């Protein structure tokens, strides 16, 4: 086994990567730590993801499972409402009549789903 493995590894690593250290006020560090905890990652990893996402002009890909489920549920409800509106517009453009009872029941269903969703927030 190579006895210089660790020093060779460090040398190669330092040639490819640079360490950036920045001071943060306690308030900012605590906020960083809290957000990292929610995502189940270390504060340094979270800070790195924020900086690299900013430099790449992208959105950080660090969403907690709860947040992903929250977004999926919101999207599902919103798409249902949008689908109803599109169906109404289509029937209107084709000069077809819209069954008001079906429309009201459907919208009431999505309103109830949305109320349940909002109560979880």
Could you tell me if 78 and 33 lie in one domain? no
Q: Is residue 18 part of a domain?
A: yes
The shares of helix, strand and coil residues in the chain, as percent rounded to the nearest 5, are 75, 0, 25
| Residue 26 confidence class, pLDDT cut points 50, 70, 90 | very high
According to DSSP, residue 90 is labeled H
Could you tell me if 70 and 42 lie in one domain? no
Could you tell me if 50 and 90 lie in one domain? no
Q: Is residue 20 part of a domain?
A: yes
Q: Which residue, among 118, 97, 117, 114, has the nearest Cα to 106 in the 3D structure?
A: 114
Over residues 84-101, the mean pLDDT reads: 79
Could you tell me if 77 and 116 lie in one domain? yes
| pTM listed for this prediction | 0.44
Q: Is residue 60 part of a domain?
A: no
Could you tell me if 47 and 79 lie in one domain? no
Cα 107 to its chain centre, rounded Å, is: 27
Rounded to whole angstroms, the Cα distance separating 36 from 25 reads 16
Q: Is residue 21 part of a domain?
A: yes
Q: CB–CB of 20/47 below 8 Å?
A: no
- Report the percentage of the chain scoring pLDDT > 90: 20
Quote the mean pLDDT of the chain.
83
Q: Which residue, among 66, 15, 17, 20, has the nearest Cα to 44 in the 3D structure?
A: 20
Could you tell me if 114 and 76 lie in one domain? yes
Domain enclosing residue 80, as ranges: 65-120
Could you tell me if 72 and 50 lie in one domain? no
Could you tell me if 79 and 42 lie in one domain? no
- Greater confidence (3 vs 17) lies with 17
Q: How many domains, in total, are found in the chain?
A: 2
> Is pLDDT of 57 > 70?
yes
Rounded to whole angstroms, the Cα distance separating 95 from 68 reads 40
21 Cβ partners below 8 Å, 6+ apart? none
Q: CB–CB of 13/19 below 8 Å?
A: no
Could you tell me if 18 and 47 lie in one domain? yes
Could you tell me if 83 and 115 lie in one domain? yes
């Amino acid at each position: 086994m190579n006895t210089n493995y660790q020093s060779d590894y460090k040398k190669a690593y330092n040639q490819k990567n640079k360490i950036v250290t920045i001071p943060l006020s306690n308030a900012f560090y605590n906020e960083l730590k809290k957000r990292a905890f929610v995502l189940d990652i270390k504060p340094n990893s979270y800070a790195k993801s924020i900086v690299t996402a900013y430099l790449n002009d992208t959105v950080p890909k660090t969403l907690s499972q709860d947040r992903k489920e929250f977004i999926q549920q919101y999207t599902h409800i919103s798409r249902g409402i949008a689908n109803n509106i599109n169906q109404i517009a289509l029937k209107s453009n084709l000069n077809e009549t819209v069954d008001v009872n079906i429309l009201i029941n459907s919208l009431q269903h999505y309103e109830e789903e949305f109320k349940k969703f909002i109560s979880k927030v």
